[in-house]
Amino acid sequence: MFDFLKTKPRVRMAPSPTGNLHIGTARTTLINYLFAKSTGGTFVVRVEDTDKERSKLEFEKNILDGFTWLGLTWDEFYRQSERTDIYKKALARLIKEDKAYVSKEPGKKDPNETVEVVRLRNPGGTVTFDDVVRGPITTDVSDLGDFVIARAIDDPLYHFAVVVDDGETGITHVIRGDDHISNTPRQILILEALGYTRPIYAHLPLVLAPDRSKLSKRHGATALDDYRAMGFIPEGLTNYLAFLGWNPGTEQEIFTLEELSRAFKLEQLQKSGAIFDMTRLSFVNREHLKRLPENEFAKRLADFGVTADSRLLPLLHERVSTLKEAADLLLSDEFAFLGTAPVQDATLLVPRVKDREVSRGETAEHLGTVLSLLEAISPSQFTAEAVKEVVWPYAEKEGKGVVLWPMRVGLTGKERSPDPFTVAALLGKEETVARLTAARTAL
């Protein structure tokens, strides 16, 4: 037993290894973790594997690997399947004290078979608990009757094992999804029979789809692995997930995990369901990608299975919201111009403007002027900024479309590509001059 007045908060996340880690479970885990870290408390992970038929070690590994990837390390770890003796002793005590009893009943699978289950003696009446998020909640428990708490003396049901684990490991706060509210009165009856101190409850609003229905696969990815495959990084996901049902009350939107741990307050949890918005997640993820040093960005790409030309890293770093976006860009032909010089197409080089027709001769003259302007930049200083500084005033004077279109097409051979200043910097002065000269000749 633990004296709650003498211990710092102890919270637990108790996933069932019956499937891969769900994004909603990841969010609940994060909230527990943040509360523990913000209060100097203890974060416990307890695998609830009492469902012997559905629990799988590969699911447990997937869940724990997901926690680790998100940066959610735990202080203590338990498996319910390894705590059977503790449950047996608790059941035996309740039976001895006549707070529970063995009931002989027809089997569910075979009515002709007699099984012995353990039922809790329900005193009836009402149970009230104060929820941090929802306030006081009162339930009439009379209709529950003497409910089953174990299939056999060595086979406890979920409700019983949870209560024993929480009581024996001194859990002070039970923070979980609000789909567990209906379980709470039943669990309070069990903990009162066992003499445990009642923890503080905080039931989080569910994560909802944009149409405010429960988030499911029909709305897109729901497993954490799916978001990893889409190229989201842990910094972006934890930042976004923290804001699903919580707000720091400040203008700051982008947080590191450490910053979240310092800012988090349990009483700031919100009652309303949290809408999962992929657009918002992408924005937050992009901000965290941009914060990465370029060498770390390159490493993340490599870990994602992407090898990028070092010349492209700054451009990708600035443009993409996910690692997959970077991979898709590199697989597209948008950057094919880096490999070989384009075949110059005189028709494509001539810009199309609304108010007049531009001739090939005029286009060639503009390219000639651009070439002369570029000569003023030394090869070592040939950056996108330097190229723009000399070309932009001329483009503004003559018309950006008639100057910059043939410059970009001459460098890439494509109608769609990065801006010509960036392209020129990627190619370097020598190659830039060679390609623009070839474009001018083609005209």
For residue 423, give the CATH number of its domain: 1.10.10.350
Q: Identity (one letter) of the amino acid at 99?
A: K
Does position 346 have pLDDT exceeding 70, yes or no? Answer: yes
Give the number of domains in the chain: 2
Q: Indicate whether 166 belongs to any domain.
A: yes
Of the three residues 155, 175, 208, the one that is the final residue of a domain is 208
Query: For position 189, which CATH number holds?
Result: 3.40.50.620
Instruction: Give the tens place of pLDDT for each residue, 128-155.
Output: 999 999 999 999 999 999 999 999 988 9
Does position 378 have pLDDT exceeding 90, yes or no? Answer: yes
Asked if 416 and 354 touch (Cβ cutoff 8 Å), the reply is no
pLDDT band of residue 233 (cuts 50, 70, 90) is very high
Q: What's the pLDDT at 6?
A: 56
Domain with 403, as residue range(s), is: 346-442
d(CA 65, CA 86): 28
Q: Indicate whether 55 belongs to any domain.
A: yes
Asked if 385 and 409 touch (Cβ cutoff 8 Å), the reply is no
d(CA 31, CA 27): 6
Of the three residues 174, 208, 242, the one that is the final residue of a domain is 208
Q: Identity (one letter) of the amino acid at 391?
A: V
Instruction: Give the tens place of pLDDT for each residue, 94-122.
Output: 999 999 999 999 888 888 888 999 999 99
Instruction: Tell me if the pTM is above 0.85.
Output: yes
Does position 326 have pLDDT exceeding 70, yes or no? Answer: yes
Q: How far apart are the first and last CA of the chain?
A: 87
Instruction: Give the tens place of pLDDT for each residue, 189-202.
Output: 999 999 999 999 99
Instruction: Give the tens place of pLDDT for each residue, 244-292.
Output: 989 998 999 999 999 999 999 999 998 887 888 999 999 999 999 999 9
Q: Indicate whether 389 belongs to any domain.
A: yes
State the sign of the Cα–Cα–Cα–Cα dihedral 355, 361, 362, 368. positive
C-beta neighbour count of 59 within 10 angstroms: 19
Instruction: Please give the helix or strand (H or E) that residue 191 lies within, else none.
Output: helix 184-194
In percent, the amount of the chain with pLDDT more than 70 equals: 97
Q: What's the pLDDT at 209?
A: 73
d(CA 62, CA 78): 16
Q: What's the pLDDT at 336?
A: 84
Q: Indicate whether 386 belongs to any domain.
A: yes
**Of 317 and 52, the one with more pLDDT:** 317
Q: Indicate whether 181 belongs to any domain.
A: yes
* Residue 133 three-state SS: coil
Q: Sheet containing 148-152: give its strands across.
A: 100-106, 114-120, 148-152, 155-156
Residue recorded with tokens 């923070």: 175
Does position 1 have pLDDT exceeding 50, yes or no? Answer: no
Strands (DSSP E) found in 154-313: 155-156, 173-177, 200-204, 207-208, 274-275
Instruction: Give the tens place of pLDDT for each residue, 359-377.
Output: 999 999 999 999 999 999 9
Q: Which residues contact 242 (CB under 8 A, 6 or more apart)?
A: 27, 30, 31, 34, 255, 260, 264
State the sign of the Cα–Cα–Cα–Cα dihedral 242, 245, 247, 251. positive
Tokens standing for residue 380: 């070592």
Q: Indicate whether 279 belongs to any domain.
A: no
Q: Indicate whether 161 belongs to any domain.
A: yes
d(CA 227, CA 239): 14
Average pLDDT, rounded, for the chain:
92
Q: Indicate whether 330 belongs to any domain.
A: no
Q: What's the pLDDT at 216?
A: 59
Of the three residues 171, 186, 208, the one that is the final residue of a domain is 208
